[in-house]
Structure 1
């Protein structure tokens, strides 16, 4: 299956019967991101988390549930 990265517009090939291909076929709202873009975003997010000025909204909800 040919897929296109939503960030860098590179075309990649993934196996037709992989779980990712099935997810992309059955749920059009899901998008594909190439491994290079995924790794770059992960690194930048971890750098923001290390500053202490950035927090995930999901973490705030979990903290409220604990009270």
Structure 2
């Protein structure tokens, strides 16, 4: 299966029976990101967390409102 990275537009091929290919076929909203872009984003995120200025805003659950 040929896939295209959503960030760098690099076209790669993955196995048709892999988990990623199945997820892309069955749920079109899922997108593919190549290994280079994924590792670059994770490294930069870890660096931002280490600075102490990174805040992760999560949706509040219903229990938090009480």
TM over 0.5: yes
Q: How many residues align?
A: 63
TM-score normalised by length of structure 2 = 0.85
- 2:56 is aligned to 56
Give the TM-score, by structure 1 length.
Answer: 0.84
TM-align CA RMSD: 1.9
Counterpart in the other structure of 1:44 = 44
Q: Distance in 1 between matches of 2:19 and 2:29?
A: 15
> More helix per residue: 1 or 2?
1
Unpaired segments ≥5 residues, structure 1: none
The 4+ residue runs of structure 1 with deviation greater than 6 A are: none
Runs of 5+ consecutive residues of structure 2 not aligned to the other structure? none
In the TM superposition, what are the counterparts of 1:1-67 in structure 2 within 5 Å? 1-58=1-58
